[in-house]
Amino acid sequence: MILLLSFSHFAAGAAAGAVGFILAALATPVSKAVTKRSREKYRDEILALSEKIKNGN
């Protein structure tokens, strides 16, 4: 964005801004997908450990 505002390189500034916007827009869905996969991967182990703790074993 500095290229766009300070140095009058409109095309380069607009391209850099568009890339940044796309990456920012993809951050949330990617994070949710990774978190969901991790939860599914460790769910059974966590439940087994919590039952073990609850039962005092």
pLDDT single digits (tens) 1-57 = 666 667 777 777 788 889 999 999 999 999 999 999 999 999 999 999 999 999 986
Per the listing, tokens 């380069």 go with 12
* 12 closest CA partner among 1, 25, 26, 20: 1
Q: What pLDDT sits at residue 26?
A: 96
Alpha carbons 21 and 1: distance in angstroms, whole number: 11
Strands (E), 1-57: none
